[in-house]
Structures are given as C-alpha cells and as structure tokens.
Structure 1
Amino acid sequence: MNILVIGRGGREHSLIQKLAESKQADKIFAAPGNAGMEEVAERVAIPETDQKKLVTFAKENGVDLTIVGPENPLLEGLVDIFQSAGLKVFGPTYAAAMIEGSKHFAKKIMAKYEIPTADYQAFTNLEAAKAYIREKGAPIVVKADGLAAGKGVVVAEKVEEALKAAEDMLEKGQFGEASKEIVVEEFLQGEEFSLMAFVNGSNVYPMIPAKDHKRAFEGDHGPNTGGMGAFAPVPELPEADYQTAVNSILQPAADALVKEGRPFTGILYAGLIQTDRGPKVIEFNARFGDPETQVVLPLLENDLVQVIVDVLNEKDPELRWADKTCAGVVVASSGYPGGYEKGRPVPVISGKTNVYTVHAGTEKSEHGYVSSGGRVLLVGAVEKSLPQALEEVYEHLQMFEGNKDFYYRRDIGISSISSTHPYVK
C-alpha cells in the first residue's frame, strides 16, 4: 500500500514512524515533510495548501491512502477535494472540521447537545466583550474564534489582562480573520488531559489519555504554545472518569455531528479538564494532537495502517495498548512562541532503543540538521513508569545544556509524580 501523509510537523513524523512499522506500508510519502522523515519516507515538495498538486501526485503515484495531519488543510477542504477525486483519505471534511475551526461553533454544538463545557459568551463587539469581562471578573479565559496555531488562548489572571487580550484580538486583529470574533469563558479549575479517538460517524474508538503542557516556561508560566511536552497515559486520571469522558463527551460529540449533517471521519481530539463536577471540554480539535501523538502512538500495539483501514470500513479496530508509560519533551527555538532565529545547528540525539526523536522544525544542511521552526524536535522514551521515562528523556537532553539557540521545560510531568524531579540537574 502506498501512503501519503500531508504535513511537516512532529505529529506527522510520529505518524510516519508508526506507519512504517506496518508490513502493509510499501511506500510512504510526506508532503512536504521535514528532514527527520527522510529516514522512513520520501519527501514530496508540495505544500499542504496546494490541493491540485496533491491530488495529481496521489493519482500519478498510486496512493492508496492519504492521511491529513494539520488543521489548516482540513479547514481548507482538502479532504473534500480528495473525496471528489475518488481518493481514499482519512480526515474530516470541511463541515466536520469546523468543530475545531470555530470555537463558537463548537460551543453551540456543546450547548445544544448538553456536552459539559465552561459557561461562555461570544463577541464581535469590543465594548460588549469588555463589559462582560468586567462583570464576570478574573480569572477568565479569552479565545480567538478561529485557528491561531495553539496561541489564540489567553488565561487571564487579572481583569486588565483579559481586557487587553480582547482588545488585541478584536480591535488590533492579532490573529487576523481568526480573531474577528472571540469567545470569553469561565476559568475552570482542575487537571487537564487530552483524549483522542478514531472516529467514523457514530463509531468512536478512544485512545489512552495523555497530558500536554502548553505554557512556554516552567511552573506553567508564560504564553501558550503548541505544546512543550506530554506523557501518556495519565496516572492520576481514574478509569471511571476516563469512561465518563468517552461516554459523555467524545461519543455525544460524534453523534451530534452526525445529527447536524456533518459526520466526522478521522481523529477527534478533546482537550479536557477534570473538575469537581467531572470532565469538561476546553476545546475540540479535528486531528491528532501535537505533541500528544508523539507519546500515544509509541504505546499502540496494533498495526496503525490496519487500524485506519478498519475505521474507514466501519470495523472495530480492537485497539491494544502496551502496559507502559511514554513521555516526551519538546526542544524549542529560543524566543518561541515569539520571534526566533532559523538555521541553527541541531545536535543529533542517539541513545538507547527505548529513547526516540521526533523531528518538527528541522531541515538538512551540508553540516547536518538545522532548525526551521519554533518547536524543533521532541525527545521521548518508553518505560515501565513515568519517572523512569522522564529520567531517560532528561538524560538525553543534557546535550542541549548551555546551548543558547534552544530551550526546553525541565518540569514536564512534575505534577503527576512528585514535587521535584530528583534526576534533573
């Protein structure tokens, strides 16, 4: 089987690494891919946005299955285009992907179908938004309605901070079209976790839960990022609460989209928070999470190609998971999520077989790998326990010590194991 993976980030590299384990994967193409993918896939110099060229390539190269990684091409209707061309593709249509494309749309779906989430109001008028913020007080959350690369959410601890966020988005156009409307919602207290599922219509096959770390700096300080590290499963999440999240959130969301005439096929991702009233939705995404994918897929014991084929054929893939823990820490360019330099030399990480590297923002030069993005790579490890996995990861990250071109968080997983990481120097 010839497989085309569309995207260039860590999520797509992780997907390709897992797909490459399958005996059914004869050839894997990555469009446009990154430098790390070249070990197991053939890169194709077509950007994710060039729909016509991607369809032509798939037809001319006998592609049997296409997997769309990032959110932008999904919300540009790439799946619809592939389906119209008679090509097999795994991912939601434009209509279904709106569950991620518009936070206001997602909130309306949740309200209509009684899916638990934070109370909210949506605004296009700045003064109305400011009045609501002053009325509710802080802490409060301000979100751009559309896509903002994981950076369109401000958790404001003071009213002034929330007012500025609303002004930046609505008046100053911080995220362009994405922030012409904003959602202002109540701040929810609790532990966050991510839950992804393979979905086809009302058929929902949940994965193990993962925990992401979105803030840029230690202690969960600094601006939101695309994610600075993750681990799976989540030891502090009781099995009963996991089942509640599946039964009261993921399944109803999939059913709702069917009822709305927007049946979802692909990966439905729920960003959740465990409150004292049970799990509630922070956000929905219409694709694999990044970096959650990089720590969930290494624990999947099934053939990923077969899983996707089964899901597309409405057959239960009977997911099996290793009884282990996987943790990963992102190495980012200094300055991220703000401005940063590209083309900085990236050290090559080598070590034990249970330690792996997933590339994101990298390219190749005559001297080796160089940085080409904000999040550069992720170092992950599979071990018997979370402390052991993190110990392996941080041991291999020592080579970045003193390197001013990059940084990483030293407290990934800290809240789930102890008050300190005894092994982080």
Structure 2
Amino acid sequence: MKATGERLDAEPRSRTAPAASPAPSVRVGHCWLQKHATPAAADGEFHWYPPATSGEDTALRGWIVEQLQGLAAPAVWWELSPGRLLWASLFAAIGDDGRPYRGVALSVVEGAVAAPELLAALAPVAAGPYAGQPVREHAPDGGAALGHASDGGAAPEELEAPSSDTEARALARGILRGGAHALDAPMEPTLPRRLAALWRWLPAGTRGARRGVWQETGVENRAEPDAVATLLATAWRAPKDASGRRARHAWHLTCELAQTDGCTLDEIVSRSDEAATREDLRVLLTESQRRAWEAHGGARPPSWRSLLHGFGRGWMDEGPGAPGAEAPRPALVETLAHELALRALSTLRAGGSAAAVMAEARWHALLPADRRGALWRALALCAPSLAAEPLGRAPALPFPGAASMGPAANAAPDASPYLVAKRHDALENPPHVA
C-alpha cells in the first residue's frame, strides 16, 4: 500500500454513485472487481461491475487497486476526506475456473455532510464477489442515529466495545492517525459506525483527512506507547462507574485543553506528564516573579501548595505598592490555572480522582476569595469541566487530612463528553465548548 496517514496524495475524484435528482444528502455506491461472472462479463477475466461510467471512475478504481498492492486478504483499505469516504474490502475467492484470486468490493460514500455521517451511512457490502446486491443506495438521513456534532453525538460506549485493550487501541489509533492496524475481524459490518462514534469524540482541530488499513495479518499493532490513543480507548471501554467517569473525564479534559490552547492532543498529554514530575515550580514564573518569590520564600523551590499560597498573598505581584495591593497579573493567573488543569489531568490519567488536586487549590492553599475567584475564572476558560461547580461551598471535612471533600470540584462528564461544559452558568463569562 502507498503512503498512509493524515496527509493525502492527490487522487482522482469519483462519480461511482451518481445521485438521482433531487439528490439525497448522502449517496452510497458499490462496485466489484472480480473474475466471477456478472451481467457485464462472463469470460472469467478480471472486470469491474458495474462498469465505470466516466474517465474519473476509471481513474479512481485503478488508483485504489494500486493502494491495495501487497495487502493480504481479508483487509479493508479506507480513506476519509471532506465529502467522501472510500471503503475497499479485499477478499479471497475461487474463480469459476477453480483458481484462487483476490477481488475487491468498493463502497463510495459521498455527500456534503460531516465525516461521522459519512461513516455512519455505510453498511459495507459482504466481502465477496457480486451476487445481485444493489449497486446504489440513498441514505438521506446520513448518520442521524448517532446525533449531530452540536449535541455531542453518541458516546463510544453506546456501541459494543472491543473485547481486548489491544483492539480498542488499534481502532483509536487508526481514527486518530490513520495507518495500518491489525483487527480480529476487519470485515465486521459495524466497524464504520464504531469509527463514526469515535470520530465524534475528537476535538475539531484533529478531524483532518485519514487513510488507513484494517487487516488480520501482515501487520502488527505497533508496540511503542501512544498515550492519546490509550486515553481514547480507555474511555471507550470504561465501565459506567466512578472509575469509568474518571477515564472519560481524562479524555474530555485533554480535548478541552487542546481546543482552548490551540495545540495537539499529544502536546497536552506531554505537558501533563511534565506537570506531574515538575520539581522546580519556579519555571512557571517570570524572572521578576522569581525574584519576588525568593524575597518571601527563599531559594528553596516552592511546593505547588506554597506557590498557590504565595499567589494568594500577592508575593509575586508585579508593580509598585505592597504585595497584594493590586489585582494579580492575568498572565500569572492563566499560568497557574493551566498548571492546575494539567495536574488534574495527570491524576485522572493515572486512574485517580482530581478532587484532591482541586481541593488543594480551593481550600488547602488558603486563597482569599477574590484570588480564588480569579483563578477559577481562568480555569473556566481553559478547562470548563474542572471549574463546573460553583465557588463558596465549604468542604465536608476539615483540611488538611480530610478523607474526602464535599461535592467534587472536578465533576466528571456524563456519556456525552461535551455536556459538562453546559453547566457553567454560575461562572462569569462562561466559555462555549461545541
């Protein structure tokens, strides 16, 4: 197979499934490359059925055959690009002459709809020679059963999750990055709908074109760790209990931070690793803030709690006047809010609850109400799900050393990963998360 991944080479477009007028929102067409007899040919030679109706069709089919070179059947080669899904199933068959051959069942889904609707509209034809199946289908509702992007769509756990972590990670990695991945059943007819559900959990900035392969043999799932794919797969397979909510919240928070920071999911995961192991928190401060900190706390690197406490006391405020006389600089508040979100994410990724991380900022650091409010408003802009609970609620037990706290400050999302963002009416200027 030629190059796989997110960046696609130029290739011919398709008119394999021309729509009747008026055109439905999604058009699905099927064609077969085989030796078995069809209404178009009965001489036992390779041919496409139905025959190509244009030069573009001919070029597209020839290009797809090139992509399938070197693959072992059974396998699925697929490409998802704006307005079009190509799904080519490579099958093994015995011709009428008794000789084995490899054939192709190609489905082309086209329409001016989002990628999940293209995937959800496809019910792949059986991987085998043409046997009287319809060559054109209309899917006017696209993927309506999965909901719309604006309301979060279906959560991956609403479809049966793979039985193994390895397969779940392969599907997650494929939808995130494309490429070749091994599956136990690459011809499973529900596979496109699984991918549609997973696609809806991706933040908008990661929904570019994809090209990849699903196959049983000839490829091994890569052993090197992929933390982002693991996060998505874990959220998919997570049970509907507290641990499952934490797993889904970890994925949701990663997407939130990627969207608000304008960076990749991999960068967010890497930053959360750095936050979890950061020994000298003075790297978060400017030179003048470090000097101000050292004037109050000495040269010893501050702990996270003591850094927050110093922020509350105004020890790092810049400008004339006594410490705390001015409102904190927005850049410092934003830096601390991001660090808080990354620390919470690291805890969630490890399977823990972010409640202790949030309690440290909310209560243990003894922040004055105005500074705590400034920190929470900054947190609401970068990580709305962490700031969802209103301020001013006392902890259930005294701190420090309480075994638990009151209502969690890191309320985890429900089935749809973007619903929690709708709970911020109590905050000033709540951000909108689509």
- Confirm or deny a common fold (TM above 0.5): no
Q: Give the TM bin, normalised by the shorter chain.
A: under 0.3
Structure (1/2) with the larger helix percentage: 2
What TM-score do the two structures reach when normalised by structure 1? Answer: 0.24
Larger Rg over CA atoms: 2
The structure whose RCO (Cα within 8 Å, separation 6+) is larger is: 1
